[in-house]
Structure 1
């Protein structure tokens, strides 16, 4: 074990969040964050970016799930990277207009907006600064932004997720042995083939161990990959005797981590 890595075709495409009030959440992610609503199928709302067909965010309504507000849930935060400062500034300006709670942080390298959605899912939306950027301080991000109609573009990337877990070592072992992630000096797990990091934050609240249909919040993380890489992942899971599901056509493989977040891999060819 420890030698497996996700193959080079692997790409993180979307996240799914189980929600209590789908209409309210659609409005927030469309009107404030800047996603576009692609389709609605029964309890599922599929969101993406304008002029691009790829799904990026799925909202699954589950009105009977317990919201557990102000409790510790599986998701600590999601990190979304945007390709331009105007995209980030427009989000901050829309948040300010709605009097939503958010914070702006500016460093030499990045500008980030930290926020919570209406059901307390936390997001860190980040922009990597370039030499030509003239941002002076955090206030400028909103004050200098006059065009609040700017929406997310297809170049956005999910670059990280922080999960709350009951046993940090168990979660790190899952990510390392089953999915080939490696621990870096910042105590983050990253995949050499993905621009994506995972942080496992150890907590004691048993809420994080509830199954995903019992509590709202992060449900699954979805990747696409080619047939060879999917079969290599299947072999690694078989060799380690780790429980997983793969359909008969070997087009979809799913595996659960230590707190019940589903890692979903879908074949592209």
Structure 2
């Protein structure tokens, strides 16, 4: 099975402010906007924002989004992202994960955001069992500032490299995403799983770090999209009652009330 992350959809209260954040800070472009819905991206649509005034805020015990991770194609682009964050927003953290360099922040609705660039794949540490070695080390920011090229928008090649979820149970998450959707375990920790199609370090992360246990019902994550080469094999593995057909694939009710949209390439 091959695949990658497509779009992420978020339910938000203040559509104008959230659109402005993803344009001015993350550097996306609004591709379409109408009827309480905005679609943003670079080369392709990446983020769907849905006005949701009638939904309650996400509760402190609800599962859902940990962060959406926007992947930029170069260190210069990451330096530009750092400049936009420090100029117009606030940086929450910065980490060297061996496989990538990452910046962390939250959008105006407290949805987690990561902006990162991958290191060359030949430099990724991989053990004899094929597990990729990721860590969380401090990232020096001055060299990253020096790498900036001065761009006020994310460049061509920017996409959503992965999405990280807060789940209630890692065993249930593994059964759904690995046995059902066909991702591989790339790294397993006592409280987190990192899963991918093929040899990538991870397309989906799942953690129980904050002990969330209730299904996702409030504002925040509406759905994530995985783009794959074979939706029929996935359909055969899943509970038919959890699957809804779409013209280009299926929607699946995953664990913890998280909807996964599976789209054919």
- TM-score higher than 0.5 here? yes
Larger Cα-atom Rg: 1
The residue that corresponds to 1:266 in the other structure is 263
The residue that corresponds to 1:4 in the other structure is none
Superposed displacement of residue 242, structure 1: 5.5
Cα pair 1:172 1:189 within 8 Å, conserved: no
Deviates most, 110-119 or 97-106: 97-106
Change (3 A) 1:124 1:143: same
Counterparts of 1:53-132 in structure 2 under 5 Å?
54-68=44-58, 73-106=63-96, 110-129=100-119
TM-score of the two chains, using structure 1 as the length reference: 0.78
Given candidates 209, 215, 218, the residue that maps to 2:215 is 209
Structure 2 unaligned runs (5+)?
123-138
Counterparts of 1:11-30 in structure 2 under 5 Å?
11-30=4-23
Query: What is the aligned residue count?
Result: 243
Change (3 A) 1:241 1:99: closer
SS of alignment partner, residue 259 of structure 1: helix
Supply the RMSD in Å over aligned alpha carbons. 2.8
Superposed displacement of residue 88, structure 1: 1.1
Cα pair 1:15 1:56 within 8 Å, conserved: yes
Superposed displacement of residue 165, structure 1: 1.6
Change (3 A) 1:146 1:185: closer
SS of alignment partner, residue 114 of structure 2: strand
Superposed displacement of residue 180, structure 1: 1.6
Superposed displacement of residue 219, structure 1: 1.4
Cα pair 1:16 1:220 within 8 Å, conserved: yes
SS of alignment partner, residue 155 of structure 2: coil
Q: Using the alignment, how far apart are the partners of 1:258 and 1:58 within structure 2?
A: 22
Structure 1 unaligned runs (5+)?
1-6
The residue that corresponds to 2:249 in the other structure is 252
Bigger share in strand = 2
SS of alignment partner, residue 14 of structure 1: strand
